[in-house]
Amino acid sequence: MKSILDDIRNSIDIIDNKILDLVNKRFELIKKIGLLKFKYNIILYDKNREKKIIKNKILNNINNNISNNFIYNLFKIFFFESYKIQLKIINNKKSIKSNKNIVIIGGTGKIGKIFFNILDKKGYNVFSINSKNWDCFNINKADLIIISVPISKFKFIFDKVITICKEDCILVDVLSNKSCNIKYAKEKYNGPILSIHPMFGPKINNFIKKKILYINIKFKDKYIWFIDLLKEVGFILYEIDSVVEHDNYMKYIQSLRYLFFLLYSNILLKSNLNINKIIKYSPFNNEILIYLFFNFCSQNIDLYLEIINSNFCNNFDIINNLINDLMFLKLNININNKNLINKYSFLDNLNNLSYIKKINNNVNKLFNLFSILK
Amino acid sequence: MKSILDDIRNSIDIIDNKILDLVNKRFELIKKIGLLKFKYNIILYDKNREKKIIKNKILNNINNNISNNFIYNLFKIFFFESYKIQLKIINNKKSIKSNKNIVIIGGTGKIGKIFFNILDKKGYNVFSINSKNWDCFNINKADLIIISVPISKFKFIFDKVITICKEDCILVDVLSNKSCNIKYAKEKYNGPILSIHPMFGPKINNFIKKKILYINIKFKDKYIWFIDLLKEVGFILYEIDSVVEHDNYMKYIQSLRYLFFLLYSNILLKSNLNINKIIKYSPFNNEILIYLFFNFCSQNIDLYLEIINSNFCNNFDIINNLINDLMFLKLNININNKNLINKYSFLDNLNNLSYIKKINNNVNKLFNLFSILK
């Protein structure tokens, strides 16, 4: 039996090598397409084209042993790798659009460094400045200045910058909470201002499909090249209408999540449970939740508190709601669940909304991929 | 240019068909291995073998255009699909080990139905019973009875069952919270008792790598065949030492998560934000969190409240801690962050622990897969 098994396994190995050989040829052609796309300025990532092709591959699947699900997964990883390969080709071309000077204040910070590397690779003249090596000469020469400093230091740095920089220098902030600082900046400075918010942590190893939010503050036409440049390296950019809208969403997207994970960390610590056992005994969704929690733990606590503070210090609505809800739960849990069921009955309704179906589709895909990963 | 691009794309299509043809042959051989494994009773899923092979494939990668990451992803989906194919073959063989009679009380419930289908497919005589069609005849004939009823009804049903069933009938519970009911069951019944806890929701479409926790209550040797059967259909089974340990972990794995998502749902609803925009503006980790939240919303609220209630109604520690933490945050946020930083400074330490590195490795894999999925 052992020898039959080994024979079959050897045959599989031979097939695997043939497959990899074909994949290698496939990616060679993908490179050629990348060069064409670069030459004729064609968009690299076309989500709808990807969807259409995968749909067709599934429709035309004539192989008895291959499930539609496998086709989907296979071409998803083909497309992802192809996109990565083409991005690399285009970015290696060092497509400098001009010899612009760029300064990053706070460029030795984690997010500052990422921007430094991107712009440096692209071939711009990039200078990294922090409070200890303040550099008036390069600030004065700069065509674009990224101010990547803590929220509490922004106004101070901004005031220093605008007395030195050229009057048409583009100023870019990466603030997590924008309203009060950007209002100030808009009033004080007459040149172009762009407000961006990178939606990724400092540990990312590629920029593919990572998001950057941006808000047009003043003179968009002056810095549209910078937005295009960010798209070119793989980021997806979403424009938000106003800093108020931005801050309102971030209150829930960032601060609320940070708050939950802080509370969670404290409870987990007090529980004295073994974290490996928690993961082992957890269903997939809780396992993923713990991975997200540890991803949260890998950043600096000061940063989280600054963001929580900036969103919650003048408005205790969310914190008060949480306290009230917990009090309500405590009061009702021993009497009966009826009050609680009524309070949360909207959850049943939620599930009937049309967009929930689309979201649940994504949940299934996520769990499916998670099974593969494990 | 258009025609050159089309030519290359046609060549890629031809390569894709060749690849799929080879994959089809690969899976044909995988089927053969499945039959051999069935015949000689060899384990289907061997995690270490999988790891070793993928490592070798990466080491032997001689193709310039193929990244190690691609090899990893490709063989992960090969292995997953192979396992699925082999499972299907083996389970279609209807390997009945005896003509045992099995009764599922609450078999029309979501989890009950899943067990009904598994056992029915395997070829056992399965009978589904609920309170409306109580069936003494089949309960009396049963070799194994799964009691899949709400926590609050367990004792009542259990008492009824043990007056009717054979004295060596195996009783299996699927309770989410076990301590008090299982202590009762153990005292009252002299036959074999197995306690299991399925770690998956009712919507799963395959059992591969999904977890079932189990605790040996009485006479393990009588029901070891049932545990083996669950492994055979793809589940991963983890034994937990005691019901107390089980309940303690579930308090954090289930109840705490349910509690957080309930609080989250209430806040999200009050915010009046557009859920599509929240997802659009979210970094990957928050996007995944929202998917988990909607996965939570897709189940019945009564079930969650029953589990929260069973864990928290006699012990308000966690709820009190949450309230205290929120109060502390509220008090300190306006003064300064120092107190808060000290309180949460352990987060910085957490990150230095050795197991965090392994977990962060999984986080990276998760985000990588999420990029592919999107």
Q: How close is the nearest chain B Cα to the Cα of A169, in Å? A: 28
B253/A286 touch (CB, cutoff 8 Å), yes or no: yes
Q: Which residues contact A106 (CB under 8 A, 6 or more apart)?
A: A112, A129, A130, A147, A148, A149
Q: Do β-strands B236-239 and B125-129 pair in parallel, antiparallel, or remain unpaired?
A: unpaired
What is the CB neighbour count within 10 angstroms for residue A6? 10
Q: How close is the nearest chain B Cα to the Cα of A165, in Å? A: 32
Residues A13 and A122 placed together within one structural domain of the fold: no
**Which of chain B's residues have a Cβ under 8 Å away from the Cβ of A305?**
337, 340-341, 344
- Distance of alpha carbon A222 from alpha carbon A194, whole angstroms: 10
**Which of chain B's residues have a Cβ under 8 Å away from the Cβ of A360?**
294-295, 298
Residues A210 and A128 placed together within one structural domain of the fold: yes
Residue B66 forms part of a structural domain: yes
Answer whether A194's CB lies under 8 Å from A172's CB: yes
pLDDT in tens, chain A (374 residues): 789 999 999 999 999 999 999 999 999 999 999 999 988 888 888 889 999 999 999 999 999 999 999 999 999 999 999 999 999 888 877 666 568 999 999 977 888 999 999 998 888 999 999 888 899 999 999 999 999 999 989 999 999 999 999 999 999 999 999 998 999 999 999 999 999 999 998 878 788 889 999 999 999 999 999 999 999 889 999 999 999 999 999 999 999 999 999 999 889 888 889 888 999 999 999 999 999 998 888 778 888 888 888 888 778 889 999 999 999 988 888 766 677 777 777 676 666 666 677 777 778 888 888 888 77
Domain, as residue range, for B15: 2-92
Q: How close is the nearest chain A Cα to the Cα of B138, in Å? A: 33
Q: Tens digits of per-residue pLDDT, B140-182?
A: 999 999 999 999 899 999 999 999 999 999 999 999 999 989 9
- Distance of alpha carbon A87 from alpha carbon B67, whole angstroms: 14
Query: Closest Cα partner for B140 from B108, B113, B116, B167?
Result: B167
A366/B291 touch (CB, cutoff 8 Å), yes or no: yes
Residue B324 forms part of a structural domain: no
> What is the total residue count of chain B?
374
**Which of B26, B208, B305 is facing A337, going by the closest CB pair?**
B305
What is the predicted pLDDT for the residue at B45? 85
**Residue where the block lists tokens 């043939």:** A18
What is the CB neighbour count within 10 angstroms for residue B35? 13
Beta-carbon pairs below 8 A across chains A and B: 391
Residue B203 forms part of a structural domain: yes
Residues B9 and B29 placed together within one structural domain of the fold: yes
Answer whether B276's CB lies under 8 Å from A323's CB: no
Among A312, A328, A343, identify where a domain stops.
A312
Cα distances from A124 to residues A91, A102, A149, A193, A208, in angstroms, run: 13, 7, 21, 20, 21
Residues A82 and A111 placed together within one structural domain of the fold: no
B254/A360 touch (CB, cutoff 8 Å), yes or no: no
- Distance of alpha carbon B95 from alpha carbon B233, whole angstroms: 11
CATH number of the domain within which B59 lies: 1.20.59.10
Residues B226 and B287 placed together within one structural domain of the fold: no
**Which of chain B's residues have a Cβ under 8 Å away from the Cβ of A362?**
291, 373
Residues B8 and B25 placed together within one structural domain of the fold: yes
Residues A120 and A232 placed together within one structural domain of the fold: yes
Answer whether B9's CB lies under 8 Å from A33's CB: yes
**Residue where the block lists tokens 């933490």:** B325
- Distance of alpha carbon A369 from alpha carbon B52, whole angstroms: 21
A199/B281 touch (CB, cutoff 8 Å), yes or no: yes
Strand ranges (E), chain B: 101-105, 125-129, 144-147, 170-173, 193-199, 211-218, 236-239
Among B71, B92, B113, identify where a domain stops.
B92
The residue in chain B having the minimum alpha-carbon distance to the alpha carbon of residue A355 is: B276
**Which of A238, A285, A365 is facing B280, going by the closest CB pair?**
A238
A4/B36 touch (CB, cutoff 8 Å), yes or no: yes
Residues A169 and A203 placed together within one structural domain of the fold: yes
Average pLDDT, stretch B180-190? 96
What is the distance, to the nearest Å, from the Cα of residue A350 to the centroid of all Cα atoms in its chain? 26
Q: Which residues pair with B171 in a beta bridge?
A: B145, B193
**DSSP SS3 for B161:** helix
**Which of chain A's residues have a Cβ under 8 Å away from the Cβ of B21?**
63
- Distance of alpha carbon B205 from alpha carbon A328, whole angstroms: 37
Residues A113 and A214 placed together within one structural domain of the fold: yes
Q: How close is the nearest chain B Cα to the Cα of A157, in Å? A: 21
- Total count of domains within chain B: 3
**Widest CA span of chain A, in angstroms?**
82
- Distance of alpha carbon A267 from alpha carbon A264, whole angstroms: 5
A25/B8 touch (CB, cutoff 8 Å), yes or no: no
**Which of chain A's residues have a Cβ under 8 Å away from the Cβ of B260?**
260, 264
The residue in chain B having the minimum alpha-carbon distance to the alpha carbon of residue A32 is: B8
Question: Is residue B370 scored above 90 in pLDDT?
Answer: no
**Which of A284, A286, A363 is facing B257, going by the closest CB pair?**
A286
**Residue where the block lists tokens 């589990």:** B307
Residues B212 and B128 placed together within one structural domain of the fold: yes
Answer whether B6's CB lies under 8 Å from A38's CB: no
What values do phi and psi take at B124, rounded to 5? -75, 160
Q: Tens digits of per-residue pLDDT, B214-230?
A: 999 999 999 999 999 99
The sheet with strand B101-105 has its strands ordered as B125-129, B101-105, B144-147, B170-173, B193-199, B211-218, B236-239
Q: Which residues contact A14 (CB under 8 A, 6 or more apart)?
A: none
Residue B136 forms part of a structural domain: yes
Tally DSSP H helices, then E strands, for chain B.
17, 7
Least confident span in A131-135, A169-173, B70-74, B320-324: A131-135
What is the predicted pLDDT for the residue at B161? 97
Residue B322 forms part of a structural domain: no
Mutate to test the interface with B, among A66, A110, A246, A351 (most CBs of B within 10 A): A66
- Distance of alpha carbon B316 from alpha carbon B320, whole angstroms: 6
